[in-house]
Amino acid sequence: MNRVTDALKGIDEHVWLKAALETHKSAGTGIVFDSMRFVSDYEYLRMHEYSVWKVTAPKPLRLNRLAERGQLYDPDVDESYRGETELEELSYDGVFKNDGDLQVLHSQIRRELFEVLSEAIEPSREAR
């Protein structure tokens, strides 16, 4: 899959991102783009004023989850792929540790989303 991604990104650096955002625009809804892997994606989203969050998980847990899904993943190869390393040192609007139950992660994200949306609404209330 890494070779396919590299080939498509050779044609258009934002191929996956544009496809997701186009679907979002036509639906007129909010979006969670859960596959940001490259600095160019990060910069594109920042340039278009999206909030960018990061979800982390301990390596043993990630490997276990991948194995449970039957997903082929070789840490010696895949962990060094640029799509797994480029975003490590960047800043994010929120960082969430996904080291347990998905309900806990969802709760953390809902709280942060509520704060972000509340802050977005507050200026319009003050203008009244």
pTM (predicted TM-score): 0.70
Structure tokens, 90: 């960047």
What integer pLDDT is reported at residue 51 of this predicted model? 87
What integer pLDDT is reported at residue 8 of this predicted model? 63
| DSSP state, residue 96 | E
Q: Digits of tens for pLDDT over the chain (128 positions)?
A: 667 666 766 678 787 788 778 877 766 667 777 878 889 889 999 998 888 999 988 989 988 888 898 888 887 777 777 777 888 889 999 899 999 888 999 999 999 888 887 887 776 555 55
What integer pLDDT is reported at residue 42 of this predicted model? 92
CATH assignment of the domain containing 98: 3.40.50.300
Question: How many domains does the structure of the chain reveal?
Answer: 1
The whole domain housing 105 covers: 2-126
Distance CA 7, CA 2 (A): 9
57: left (phi over 0), alpha (psi -120 to 50) or beta: beta
Provide the β-strand partners of residue 112: none
Distance CA 72, CA 38 (A): 21
Strands 53-56 and 94-97, bridge-based pairing: parallel
What integer pLDDT is reported at residue 31 of this predicted model? 75
Distance CA 64, CA 39 (A): 27
Structure confidence by residue, pLDDT tens digits, 47-59: 988 889 999 889 8
What integer pLDDT is reported at residue 91 of this predicted model? 92
* Residue 29 identity (one-letter amino acid): T
